[in-house]
Structures are given as C-alpha cells and as structure tokens.
Structure 1
Amino acid sequence: MSATQVPGPGANVAARRKDLGLSQVALARRAGVSVSLLSKIEVGDRALSQGVGASLAQAMNLALDELLGSSPEKDLGDLNWAIRRFDIPGDPPEHPENLQQEVDELNRLRWSTELSKVLLRAPSLLTRVTNHAHLSGEPKAWTLVADVYGVVYWLAARHRWMHLAELATMKQRVAASRADPIAAIVAARDEAGTFLNSGDFEGGLAVVDRAVVQTESILTGRDRAYGLGILHLRGLTLAGRLKDKRTTSRHTAAAWRAAAEFSEDIAEHGIHFGAENTATHVISTASDMEQHHRATDAAENLLRGGMSLPATRVGPVYMNLGRSQLALGNLEGALESLENAWKAAPEMAAVHPTSLELARVLVSRHKRSNERLTKLVKRAGIAI
C-alpha cells in the first residue's frame, strides 16, 4: 500500500492489521506496545515513530518499509539497465576527465533534494563511470562507481524502494572492493542504512560495528576520522531506534570525537560530516528516544546559529523538531516546522515518512480548518 494513498504511514497500521484479521489487542500484545498507544496511532492522535513501527511490522511479519508504505515507483527502466550491466563493459566515455565533476554535480542535486533530477541523470552517469572503471582498472575510477551507487542507494531509500536500495548497496560493495579503501567504509555505512530502513536495527548495528573495526585497521589520518564519524552517526541512529541508551551514548561520544578533527563540516563521497551533521543526528535520536525537550532545545539552538549544511540535512532537522513539538502538544510549532521542512526540501518532504506522519496527525488534531495545513497536505497528495 503506497504511503501517498492514505493519510500518512500510521494509517497503514490499521489497514495492515485489518487485512490480517488482527484486533488491536492482539497486535499490541504481539508488538509489546500498549493498546492505548496503538489506538492513538491508528486514529491519528499520535505519530508513528519508526521504532514503534518496526515493532508493529515485526509483529505482522512485515519489513518496516512495507508497513510505512513506499512512494509509487517511477520509470526505473534506464536505471535498472545500467545496474544490470555492471559486469559488462561498454563503450568508454568520450571525456573521462569530466566524470569526477559530473559525480560532484549529481551529489549537489542530492544535497538540494532534487530527487527527480537525480533519477534523470543517474543512469547515464552510472553507465559511463562503470565503463571507464572497467577500461582503466584504477581504484580511483572504481571509487567513482561506488560513489554513484551511493547516490542510487540514497534515492531509493528516500522513496523506500528497498529492493532497489539493497541492490544498489550490493553493487556498491563490489565496486568498493576494487576502489580506494575509504569506499568500502562508505559502502558499509550505506549497507547499514538498508537495515535501518527495513527496521532491522540490531542487524544494522552489527554491520556498523564490523565496519568500525575495519576502519580502525585500514585507514589513517583524516580518512580514518571521517570514516569513523559517518559510521558512528549511523550507529547512534540505529541504537536510538532501539532505545538502547548505552549503545547510543557510545556511538554519540565517538561521533563527537571524530567531529572534533574537523574545523567545519566537510562533504566527501556524497556524505557530509562534522559538528553540525553530528548535531542533526543527535536531535533525531533524541526525538526517537522521546527526549523531546532535549530535541527541541538542540534543534532550536542549531537553527538559531545558522546551518551551513544542505537541504538533505536541514529538512530533517525541521521534521524532527516538528515531531518533538507535536509530542509536547505544540501544534502551532509543529505546523511551522513542517512548513519549513517543505521550504527547505520539498521533494524530500513529499515522500519522507516523518513529514507524512506530521501532516496526518496535525490534520487529525486540528479541530477546525487550517488553511496553511490544508495547503501542505494537498502538496503531499494526502487525502483528508
């Protein structure tokens, strides 16, 4: 069931439960949540968090992305063709010297959350960087291949097209095995992301822990700090979804130590890292762990100071601020945060489960018509 066909991912819970012939009492017992919480999620009085969503999905023998709902698939024919021909060398690109610049431009589109443009450009670029890597055999060329697959993973994960996300990370790992050492660490971070998006948080933590050991053994200097930093950010997110305070604290402290190695946030291999990006993950995880005052205080401090990060990070900060404001009963603040998320990253907001849940619950809890909210839900394609 598509998330755009019902008013927010939380409404999928009721639909799936009824399809399986389960009562609220039976599902709540299986998932280890209260009947009261389940009822509030289904009617739109409480937002569905991904931690609770994972428990409910497991209780219904579903992956998390199946419960949340995915965006309708667009024409993926060209992209699937490019991925399928990973091991079949084709004609070399006319200007291989320009490939790095094109990959950088693809990442700029990613950072500005222009999802449709990323999908349009990725197939051709993926074909050309792959053909060039087969021809040259150089680790640097295979690093470009791994980097483009990282963008494909990101695109698929944003839409919750998990079959494509998992296929992309498989190819990313193969390319990374032929590339510069840092590429393998980025690939492991993305692989852990497929576990995150599917609701297998413990499995994702295992991937992160293995990659941390690998990073400590093969990388040095700046690459080591960067690699450890992006892995620990993934780790704190996974642990936060499990509400594992000890593991969350361990990854958070390690991420801050790595961030201290950089005077400002950097962007490499399509991924930002530094103090600001660490703060955005801490905010999200505080919200996941229902530390809502901590999340709102941290988000407001970060936004007040001004962010140098791109829309891919600014949009989620507003979404996470909004869900904590909603949990604290600040409906007006949550609506303003949702509006700001749409301003910062409209294509991401249109498909992101947190954005969709905020809209769903705000619609349910507003007792009278709100022109601003109506405008947002219409943009999101949500039926009200």
Structure 2
Amino acid sequence: MAARPLTPLAAAREAAGYTQESLAVTLKVERTTIGRWERGVQSPQPWQRRGLATALQISLDVLDDLLRRSLRQPAADITTVLISPSSSLVTLPAERTVHEDAPAPDADVIHAAIPRLRRALDRLDLPDDGPTRSPDDLHGEIIRASDDRLQSRYGNLARRLPDLIAELARAGQLGDAAGQRHAAALLTLALRAADGVAFKFGYLDLSARLIDLMRSAAQIAEDPLLLAAVAYVRTETFFATGDLDTAARALELAADHVPDLGTTSSLAAFGALHMRAAVVAGRAGKADLAADHLREARRAAGSVPEGIYVGTAFGPASLRIHELAVAVELRDPLGIERAASWRPPDELPAERRSHYFIDLARAQLTLGRHEDAHLCLQAARQAAPEHTRTHPQVRQSLSSLLRTHSAPSAGLLDLAAWARAR
C-alpha cells in the first residue's frame, strides 16, 4: 500500500524535527490531538497556537495557512425534538455528515434567494400546486434544515427553504386536524431556519415578518414549546430596536408558561428562555437580574443533556457560552476570566461555537489583549465561516484591531478583507 502523503501541518512538524509524540510532549497535549490537527478533523484552540507556531519555527500567519489547507469540519451530533403526527414528542438524531471546509458563499447567492423566500411567504394560504411528501419525509427535511441552521450553512437554507415552505403550506391544507397541527409545527421550525438567514444577512423587516408567522404557526400547532421558541427568537426584534425592557418581559412571561417541567424538552425550553433573558439583563446593565436568570438556566441544564433542540439548542455547553456573553455585556473582568477558562467542545453546533469565540474576541478587546482577540476571530471563522463572515460584531472587532495596529499583520489584513471590515 502506498504511503499516505503528509498533510501540510505534518510536513511542517517533520521539517522542524518532531515526531507526533515529541511534539505532543512539548505542547503538553495527547499524541492523538496532534494527529487530529494534522488530519484536519480538529484545530488547535487559540491559546495553543502560539506554542505550536513557536515549536514549528513558523509565524502565526503561516500556521493559519497550514491549518486552513487541511481543515475539515467535524460531524455534527444534535438531537432534534419535534412534534409527531400524533402530537407526542419524539427525539430523532440529526443526519451525521462530514462537510468539507469551504469559503463562505458569495452573499449575492443568498441575496438572490430572498425574493423567492418572500414569494413563498406571500402564498402561505395559497401555495402553488405541487407534490407533497409524507409527514415522515417532511419531518426529515426539517431535521436537515435545523442542522443547516445550527451549522451555519446558510447557502443550503437559502436554496431549499422557499420550496420546502411552500410544500409545508400545502401539507397544512391536507389531512385531518392532527396532520394539520403536525404540518404547522414543522412549518414553525422551517420559518425559524429562514429567520436564521434573514436576520444574519440584514433583512430585519423580513425577520420580523418571519417571527410573526412563526407565532401564528405555533398557535395552530397548539404547541407551547414552539411558542417558547418563538419568544426566544423574538428577542432579535427587541435587540434591533433597543427595547430591552419589553424583551425581558416577553421572555419571563414565556418561561412562566412552559408546561410540565418534569420533561427534558420542557426543561430545555425553560432553560433556553432564562439564558436568553440573562443576556438581555446583561445588556441592560442589570447584573443581579442576569445572575438570577443564569441560576434558573443552570438548574435546568443540570437535567438536560447537550443538544436538545426545540427551536433553539440548549444544554450545559450552550449555557456556558451564554455565561460568557453576559460577562461581556456587563464588562465584568472576573466573569470574563471565569467564563473564558472553558472552551466549547467540537461536537457543539458550529454556530454556537463561533458565537463563543466572537464574544471572547470582544472580551479580549475589553481587556486590551489584541493578539488574543485576533486568534479568537480566526477560531470563529474556522468553526462557522458563513456565520462569522456575516456577524456585525466580527466587523466591529476587526475594525478596532485595525485601528490599534499601525502595521497590521498579513493575517489580520486577510481576515479583515474576508469579513469586509474597515
């Protein structure tokens, strides 16, 4: 059998005179960790990169190039909780696929799909004629769409959602009352995925419309957990207008109406609302209230495994990410240090992991750690390129870094150009 050619990172290691074992000893990691880096199934965390570059006798810019040339996206593993045709909760694993790392798609591709999405929404009560798949097949399509949103594959969503929404609208006009409620539940989650595209790409009017349609569909589905998910997503509207008091009231009211906290799915919905309310309180400068909401979310997370999804992902790791967001909003150095001592696991959805590194970059800027902020933004890009490239806080952080460097590095200039920051 022919020997497998060395990856760029493995070649750099051999050129520096290291075996995988000796490099692992130098960096104080497991040998298998070095192997995963070299195969591109995992990337070094930001705090590991400086030591790796020093050991290999290369610059951080060169290291970033080596990693980008061999990186593969890890497979996602989430659990999606949806409504079955019989209105009982079911838990299904999302399809496990490996997606090769690729640059974020041209925004023009997504912008071109927006008119088709608007047209599908205009015709929800008068959908075009066409085939309508079985409830199980449509269920599977929603799992894939939810996974695409969680993994920030917005190009996939923009291409597929208009037709899927039209098909779900047709399904809602067929069958008995139970089947129509099931179609409405699936439509709620399809609209949730569509909002992930609209909001990220700046279509705030479309996002607000999608949230209203989500609420209507969830009411038809008669599902209080989907109504809780709508309340979570609706916070985007209040963030955009700066109406934090109303956002807090809406989230607290929704949490009060989550039924039967003895079930995992209800606890996940309850915990997600409280961790979202904690961020709202943090942004409003209400540290005590933020702490109260985080306490409730922690109580829920103690009984919920990571990856339970009822319109939004919840679990212990998701909560840790929100704890950092709260500390950043409050500009709390001790809270930032405490939250930043943890790192998101690779199996967490890509969008959530990129959120963590985007917030951590803001935190590092607050603490004056500019190089660490740059490394965090690179980590966010590697975790979820489409999400990172569209996030306004990324451009703000990069603009701040460019202003503070009289001679920015090639890596920083490349990242800023990629994210269209000035």
TM exceeding 0.5: yes
Map of 2:380 onto structure 1: 341
3-state SS of the aligned residue for 2:111? coil
Name the structure 2 match of 1:62: none
C-alpha distance in 1, partners of 2:118/2:261? Answer: 33
- Once the two structures are superposed, residues 17-54 of structure 1 have per-residue CA deviations (whole angstroms, 9 ceiling, x without a partner) of xxxxxxxxxxxxxxxxxxxxxxxxxxxxxxxxxxxxxx
Deviations 1:65-117 (A, max 9, x none): xxxxxx88812111001111122244363422311111111112112211122
What residue number does 2:306 align with? 265
Task: Verify: 1:82 aligned to 2:120, yes or no.
Answer: yes
Cross-structure match for 1:354: 393
1:199 to 212, 225, 242: 242
Inter-partner Cα distance in structure 2 for 1:275 and 1:307: 14
Which of residues 88, 96, 105 is equivalent to 2:144?
Answer: 105
Contact kept, 8 Å, 1:287 with 1:295, in 2: the verdict is yes
1:239 alignment counterpart? 281
* Alignment deviations for residues 298-326 of structure 1 (CA, whole Å, 9 cap, x no partner): 233234xx343111111011111111111
Given candidates 185, 189, 206, the residue that maps to 1:164 is 206
Equivalent residues of 2:172, 2:184 under 8 A apart: yes
Q: What is the 5 A alignment of 1:21-40?
A: none
SS in 1 for 2:313: strand
Does the 8 Å CA contact 2:132/2:167 hold for their aligned counterparts? Answer: no
Question: How far 1:223 moved relative to its partner?
Answer: 2.9
Matches within 5 A, 1:65-80: 74-75=111-112, 76-80=114-118
Give the direction of change, closer, same or farther, for the CA distance of 1:122–1:198 in structure 2 (3 Å limit).
farther
Q: Distance in 1 between matches of 2:369 and 2:182?
A: 50
1:274 and 2:315 aligned: yes
Secondary structure of the 2:152 match is: coil
- CA positional deviation for 1:162: 1.1
Measure, in 2, the Cα distance between the counterparts of 1:252 and 1:183.
Answer: 22
- What is the CA-CA distance between 1:270 and the residue it aligns to? 4.2
Kindly indicate whether the alpha-carbon contact (under 8 Å) linking 1:110 and 1:151 is maintained by their aligned counterparts in 2.
yes
Tell me, yes or no, if the aligned pair for 1:150 and 1:168 is still in contact at 8 Å: yes
Contact 2:120 2:166 in 1 (8 A): yes
Task: Give distance in 2, aligned partners of 1:243 and 1:83.
Answer: 37
Q: Verify the 8 A CA contact 2:396 2:421 in the aligned structure 1.
A: no
Q: Which amino acid in structure 2 is aligned with residue 355 of structure 1?
A: V
Aligned ranges 1:1-40 → 2 under 5 Å: none
Q: Give runs of aligned pairs for residues 1-384 of structure 1, distance below 5 A.
A: 74-75=111-112, 76-91=114-129, 93-96=131-134, 97-136=136-175, 137=177, 138=179, 139-179=181-221, 180-216=223-259, 221-262=263-304, 264-303=305-344, 306-383=345-422
State how far apart, in whole Å, the 1-side matches of 2:261 and 2:121 are.
29
Given residue 335 of structure 2, which amino acid in structure 1 is its aligned partner? R
Matched residues in 2 for 1:269 and 1:127: separation?
22
Equivalent AA in structure 2 for residue 74 of structure 1: H
Give the alignment's Cα RMSD to 1 decimal.
1.9
- Normalized per residue, which structure has more helix? 1
Deviation at 1:192, TM superposition (A): 2.5
Distance in 2 between residues matched to 1:98 and 1:240, nearest whole Å: 41
Q: Alpha-carbon deviation of 1:215?
A: 1.3
Asked if 1 retains the 8 angstrom alpha-carbon contact of 2:145 and 2:157, the reply is yes
* Whole-angstrom CA distance in 1 between matches of 2:388 and 2:299: 31
**Mean Cα displacement is larger for which, 287-296 or 124-133?**
287-296
Count of residues in correspondence between the two structures: 309
Please report how far the alpha carbon of residue 269 of structure 1 lies from its aligned counterpart in structure 2 after TM superposition.
3.4
Q: Which residue of 2 aligns with 1:54?
A: none
Q: Which runs of 5+ in 2 are unaligned?
A: 1-106
Q: Distance in 2 between matches of 1:252 and 1:163?
A: 31
Read off the aligned partner of 2:190 and give its amino acid letter.
Answer: V
How far residue 150 of structure 1 moved from its aligned partner, in angstroms, is 1.0
What is the identity, as a one-letter code, of the residue corresponding to 1:203?
Answer: T
Q: Which has the larger radius of gyration?
A: 2
Aligned to 1:23: none
CA distance in 2: counterparts of 1:93 and 1:184, whole angstroms:
29
Which consecutive residues of structure 1, in runs of 5 or more, have no partner in the other structure? 1-70
Query: Taking structure 1 as reference, are residues 354 and 293 closer, same or farther at Cα in structure 2, changes over 3 Å only?
Result: farther
Going from structure 1 to structure 2, the CA distance change for 1:222 and 1:369 (only over 3 Å counts) comes to closer
CA distance in 1, matches of 2:337, 2:409: 24
Residues 212 and 228 in structure 1, CA contact (< 8 A), matched pair in contact too: yes
Q: Distance in 2 between matches of 1:369 and 1:340?
A: 18
State the secondary structure of the residue aligned to 1:347. Answer: helix
